[in-house]
Amino acid sequence: MQKAAETELLSKFPYGGVILRPGFIYGTRSVGNMKLPLGVIGSPLETVLQVAKPLNQIPLIGPLLTPPVNVTAVAKVAVRAATDPVFPPGIIDVYGIQRYSQHKSN
């Protein structure tokens, strides 16, 4: 289903569609009155799994080594992709989200 939706989006917007593939997103999540600090797990895991990037290509276990990404980074890239006319179209994975979230837009 995901691949079909992505294919459809890219065919309808070949020069401007952006697909974000963040994987596990961490931040503080509110559940009722309780706040779950997912960053306590996500942030250190993101740092450790950055080193494992080459292992990400191994079938079956590679995707399990994809680092989590901070919700703020995903939000920054989503806003930038929607508002920056020169933002490149296509699929943006975790590593692209991390890279684009660190760059300042004009």
According to the model, what pLDDT value does residue 101 have? 93
According to the model, what pLDDT value does residue 64 have? 80
Q: Is residue 11 part of a domain?
A: no
Q: Residue 17 contacts by C-beta under 8 Å, 6 or more apart in sequence?
A: 9, 10, 89, 90
Query: Average pLDDT of 45-68?
Result: 79
According to the model, what pLDDT value does residue 1 have? 66
According to the model, what pLDDT value does residue 104 have? 65
Q: Is residue 10 part of a domain?
A: no
Q: Is residue 52 part of a domain?
A: yes
Confidence of residue 105 (pLDDT cuts 50, 70, 90): low
Q: Is residue 41 part of a domain?
A: yes
Q: Is residue 12 part of a domain?
A: no
For the chain, what is the domain count?
Answer: 1
According to the model, what pLDDT value does residue 72 have? 94
Question: Looking at the predicted structure, is the pLDDT value of residue 106 above 70?
Answer: no
Q: Is residue 91 part of a domain?
A: yes
Domain that holds residue 95: 19-102
Q: Is residue 90 part of a domain?
A: yes
Q: Is residue 42 part of a domain?
A: yes
